Amino acid sequence: MGKSTIEVQMDICFRHSKRNSYLSRRRYAGSCSPFVTYLNDVFKLQNLRNLHDKHVATYITERQNQGISAKTILNDLCAIRYLHDLIQNPRYELSDNRSLEEKYGLALDKASVVNGDRSWTNEEFDRMLELATDLNREDIKDAMTLAKELGLRVTEVIAMSRAQVEKALRTRIHTVKGEAKNGKHRDVPLSYTAERILRRLLQVTPRGGKVFVKEGEKVHQVANRIQQFINYHREKIVTTEGELRRVDRRYGTPRELTMHGLRYNYVQDRFETELSKEGVTDREAAQKITKEIGHNRTNVLDVYKGK
């Protein structure tokens, strides 16, 4: 038996998408496939343009009744929104998780139990930058600093294009585009340190090129190379303070230093900055910062704050 009309539509959407890495697209497609089959079987939906909140809410309820884990369901929602962004001229916008809960009485489990902080100490960060300089790896130094200053994932740093840099320097806002994990664009305020680095990198990046990716390279190759550098050298710069900060509460052992840990530093630093402003509440700061790091749920910030 052949594929349904909307299954074919989904295949076309993913086939033509260039957002994210190949592995990420494959993962999203794997999550969306049972969803689209459900739409065909239960709702007899003929056109993905008609995808609506009610379809999503009913599917999530079915998944919960099947005993699917909360983490998997949240990943499903991320994949569904990714697919929705690929649809040409959709008739409806899809609501965020909180709105789905309020409109349809869903009980989406929140972020999983926080197992500890993953941020770097200032000493660890400075020592890694010094090590990169000593080894003539200015690319590592720049990528790590931009990740910390802008709250970017490693692939979001590496995929940064000259056009993005030019726009960021004009507007003082860095726009994360299709390289984002969920494919959604987001805006991040440009710090003074990030601006200084981008102005320098702009001078050596060819038009139409990417800041960290040379001709013949792939984004994931460069990203892996940077993480391998950190993995190889982190034991040289780790501190007792950092190990205590990063203790995994499940096992009592410290988490390793990673590039992703710099997003924790970004969130913590941004909270300090926002809450230092007169009249800004914790909730208002959370609503602002959660958008800057590309999440739909403010409670996920508790993970990044290590609370």
Closest CA to 48 of 96, 76, 13: 13
* Cα 224–chain centre separation: 16
Q: 20-38, pLDDT tens digit by residue?
A: 667 778 888 999 999 999 9
Domains detected in the chain: 5-104 (1.10.150), 122-305 (1.10.443.10)
Q: Which residues pair with 188 in a beta bridge?
A: 174
pLDDT digit string (tens) for 171-181? 999 999 865 55
Q: Which range among 104-108, 143-147, 153-157 has the greatest average pLDDT?
A: 143-147
Per-residue burial over 213-235, b = 16 or more CB atoms within 10 Å of its CB, e = otherwise: beeeeebbebbebbeebbeebbe
Mean per-residue pLDDT, 257-276? 90
- Kindly report the average pLDDT of the chain as a whole number: 88
Report whether pLDDT(212) > 90: yes
Question: Mean pLDDT over residues 49-58, rounded?
Answer: 95
Confidence of residue 182 (pLDDT cuts 50, 70, 90): low
Q: Residue 10 above 90 pLDDT? A: yes
Q: What pLDDT score does 139 carry?
A: 96
Give the mean model confidence (pLDDT) for residues 74-97: 90
Q: Which residue in 155, 183, 182, 145 sits closest to 266, CA to CA?
A: 145
